[in-house]
Amino acid sequence: MRLLVTGGAGFIGSHFAGAYARNRPVDEVVVLDALTHAGDRGRVPDHEAVTFREGSVTDPDAVATAIEGVDRVVHFAARTHVDRAIADPGAFVETNVRGTQVLLDAARAADIDRLVLLSTDEVYGETLAGAQHEDDPLDPRNPYSATKAAAEHLAGSYAATYGLPVLSVRPSNTYGPRQHAEKFIPTILCHALAEEPIPVYGDGSARRQWLYVDDCVRAIATVLDEGATGETYNIGSGRELSNLELVHTVLERLGRSRDLVEFVPDRQGHDMRYDVDDTKLRQLGWEPSVDMEEGLERTIRWGRERFDE
């Protein structure tokens, strides 16, 4: 079996490519990545089954070459940072929507067995109470989540129109070693270790579920191997924290003062809470295995090596 992982030099994609190559019966894992600001060639797993190809999902020739002879695809390649999406929505439309369309066309031509699209819990929009289920309506409220919802709808249309075997996953906020420095937990670590102010939007009351990356990639592998074609699966963690609670927790573990917290003007259109119900995924046999305490400890160890100079 040959697997294509788009965005496999990114944070979650690289963890997934390595874990799948090590733990599943696969002959080759082809990693396709454009090595933009969030892609790092050094993240690509050093494993005999992994082959790297540099190229963008927006380039039909690069995608056609990478997907040749492939049986399955997991589509991570995307622009993901909400602040960047607010500043430059067009770049997100180009990669997240048109790039997905290019990949879907290539997958049709290659007659693949199945394709898993990585989406996000943000497509549901702000969830002030309760938890979102997979069949709840989508209500994205920022350019990033809107492009991910569009990609999902596009993939669904290819499934209905052409019979393309597509599945989607919607993870919660994922964290862990090797995450790009612009993301929230690496930002906390970088600033705290340097004894610099840690920017926190608004009053820090926005709440998220926090999912450790190893649990996220196991969930995606479970959906790839066991999920029903045409279905969507939420990936939760059961651990919800406000941004301020998270900062305080990391500061306490680092032995740094809470005085480092610096409240800054809130993000435009900031969703105050996301929460997903992942019962459907758990029925496939998956459940998170790394609690927040252990996940943060592993991430902090990585952060000390990465930022504590």
Which is catalytic among the residues 20, 33, 122, 212?
Answer: 122
Q: For the whole model, what pTM was predicted?
A: 0.96
Q: What is the mean pLDDT of the chain?
A: 96
Task: Provide the pLDDT for residue 307.
Answer: 84
* Extended beta strands in the chain, E state: 2-6, 28-33, 50-54, 72-75, 114-118, 166-171, 173-175, 198-201, 207-212, 232-235, 240-242, 261-264
Does the annotation mark 305 as catalytic?
Answer: no
pLDDT in tens, 60-85: 999 999 999 999 999 999 999 999 99
Range of the domain at 182: 176-208+239-274+290-307
Does the annotation mark 195 as catalytic?
Answer: no
- Find out whether 165 and 114 touch, Cβ atoms under 8 Å: yes
* Same-domain status, 60 and 79: yes
| Residue 279 in domain | no
* Same-domain status, 103 and 130: yes
pLDDT in tens, 22-38: 998 899 999 999 999 88
pLDDT in tens, 116-157: 999 999 999 999 999 999 999 999 999 999 999 999 999 999
Residue 129 has which token pair? Answer: 């109470």
DSSP label at residue 198: E
pLDDT in tens, 101-118: 999 999 999 999 999 999
**Helix, coil or strand: residue 160:** helix
Phi, psi of 98 (to 5 degrees): -65, -40
* Same-domain status, 33 and 67: yes
* Same-domain status, 21 and 118: yes
CATH number at residue 120: 3.40.50.720
Which is catalytic among the residues 20, 144, 212, 274?
Answer: 144
Task: Provide the pLDDT for residue 308.
Answer: 67
* Same-domain status, 152 and 270: no
pLDDT in tens, 246-268: 999 999 999 999 999 999 999 99
Phi, psi of 225 (to 5 degrees): -85, -35
Q: Which of 89, 66, 78 is nearest to 118 (CA)?
A: 78
Does the annotation mark 262 as catalytic?
Answer: no
Q: Does position 309 have pLDDT exceeding 80, yes or no?
A: no
Which is catalytic among the residues 33, 121, 214, 271?
Answer: 121
Task: Provide the pLDDT for residue 76.
Answer: 98
* Same-domain status, 200 and 94: no
Task: For residues 44 and 13, give the distance between their C-alpha atoms in angstroms, rounded to a whole number.
Answer: 9
